[in-house]
Amino acid sequence: MRKRKLIWAGLVAVILVAGLAAFLGIRQRAGGNGQGVAAFREARAFAVSGVLRQLPGPYGLLLGDSQIERLYLPVLCGRPVVNAGIAGTRIAGLRAVAGWLELPRPPETIVVTIGTNDLTRRQRSGHPDAAEHFRAEARALFAELVPRARMVVATAVPPFDAARPGVTRFYDAAAAPAYSAILSEECARAGCRFVDAFADLRDPASLGRSPDGVHLGLDVAARDAVASRLEAAACPERAAQGR
């Protein structure tokens, strides 16, 4: 009996190790080539679509990169929110994700935060038309999203702490205002609302709370400030009455 238990324990260990190896292999492939990344995004969109089908009434939807993925915002304008943010996403990838999502009915609000990964040196250096490419993708994204929701809100690109070692080595932080302006212009063209939801996080003290100089330094107070600005854009009547 003892020998049989040892054999079964060994088999379970082998299965767990094999499963972990397969998982890590998938993670490495997803980070190492475009097909893997696209497959991961499609799988994420499939999972989010499943969550959306479980919501019984009006809802909000968050779209974007890790900046929005890290934001805990379970309710917006008094309605439940589903977070469909995906770390590492650029604006072209976000268009693909939006296309894969199966919306059971139009969201009350779609919030879009994008641009951080489009500002990497890899995307910017040696590509003089990078900003115009970003504009074309933004124009197409908003044109696709606006008919699918009652309200689309786009945010400015979140702040960088350019003084932090290494940030400007990997990101063209100086171009962030120009990319935010593009998002504002293309959002207005499509008929959505633009807001700098992160305006309260751009001062030196707030930038210093960022874990890496790129991602937002979020706590309860910072989250509430972001939510307040989003609600002012998405449901001004409710925001005026107090949350």
pLDDT tens digits along 59-69: 999 999 999 99
Number of Cβ atoms within 10 Å of the Cβ of 179 = 24
Query: What digits encode the pLDDT tens for the residues 188-203?
Result: 999 999 999 999 999 9
**pTM, two decimal places:** 0.83
Work out whether the CA dihedral 137, 153, 144, 95 comes out positive or negative. positive
CATH for 78: 3.40.50.1110
Q: Is 97 inside any structural domain? A: yes
Q: Tell me the pLDDT tens digit for each residue of 87-107.
A: 999 999 999 999 999 999 999
Does 50 map to a domain? no
How does pLDDT run across 2-37, given as a tens digit for each residue?
Answer: 444 333 333 333 322 233 233 333 333 333 456 787
pLDDT at 240: 64
Count of alpha carbons within 13 Å of 121, Cβ hemisphere only? 6
Say which residue the tokens 């115009």 belong to. 132
| Domain presence at residue 135 | yes
| Percent of the chain whose pLDDT exceeds 90 | 77
Residues spanned by the domain of 112 = 57-241
Give a yes or no: residue 163 inside a domain: yes
Distance linking the first and last C-alpha atoms of the chain: 63
Mapping DSSP onto H, E and C, the string for the chain reads: CHHHHHHHHHHHHHHHHHHHHHHHHHHHHHHHCHHHHHHHHHHHHHHHHHHHCCCCCCCEEEEECHHHHCCCCCEECCEEEEECCCCCCCHHHHHHHHHHCCCCCCCCEEEEECCCHHHEHHHHCCCCCHHHHHHHHHHHHHHHHHHHCCCEEEECCCCCCCCCCCHHHHECHHHHHHHHHHHHHHHHHHCCEEECCCHHHCCHHHHHCCCCCCCCCCCHHHHHHHHHHHHHHHCHHHHHHCC
Q: Is residue 3 situated within a structural domain?
A: no
SS3 of 147-188: HHCCCEEEECCCCCCCCCCCHHHHECHHHHHHHHHHHHHHHH
Query: What pLDDT is stored for residue 53 in this prediction?
Result: 94
Overall number of domains in the chain = 1
Domain annotation covers residue 34? no
Instruction: With respect to residue 12, please indicate whether it lies within any of the assigned structural domains.
Output: no
